[in-house]
Each structure stands twice: as C-alpha cells, then as structure tokens.
Amino acid sequence: MQELVIDTEYITLGQALKLTDAISSGGMAKFFLSEYEVFVNGEKDDRRGRKLRDGDIVMIPEVGRVKIVKSTTN
C-alpha cells in the first residue's frame, strides 16, 4: 500500500488523484471520477471535493491502494 503524506488537516480526493499521478491536472478529476470507480474507506465516492484525512484509505484504478498519512513534522 502506497502512503500519501500530507502536512495539512486534509486534502481533497481531486488533489489525491493528482498527487498519485492518476490524473495529470486537477481539471481531469471530474472526468476521471465519472469514468472510474474510486473507493474511499471501502465506499464508492465520486466527489472530487471529498475531504481525505489521516488514516483514510483510497482505492484508485491503475494506482492501487493509497493511505493518507499526516506528516508528524511541522
């Protein structure tokens, strides 16, 4: 399982797709989510603005499972 380290309280699902290279730009998020099934914590979700926090697990087609991890350094 890949880890995506964040230094903020949360990131959006659209940002996570871009940071994992599932999409090349933020503008592609809406299209990607309409074409592929993405699961957040085991539930299908197509909201690009969905807030992902520390401990959330996202299953992204062609990428795999990604765990959101909050950075412990400031």
Q: What helix, strand, coil percent values describe the chain, rounded to 5?
A: 25, 30, 45
Q: Which residue has the tokens 């412990």?
A: 72
Q: Per-residue confidence at 62, pLDDT binned at 50, 70, 90? A: confident
Q: Which of 74, 1, 73, 43 is nearest to 13 (CA)?
A: 43
What is the model's pLDDT at position 49?
95
| Interval 11-46: pLDDT, tens | 999 999 999 999 998 889 999 999 999 999 999 999
CATH code that applies to domain 2-70: 3.10.290.10
Q: What is the pTM of this model?
A: 0.90
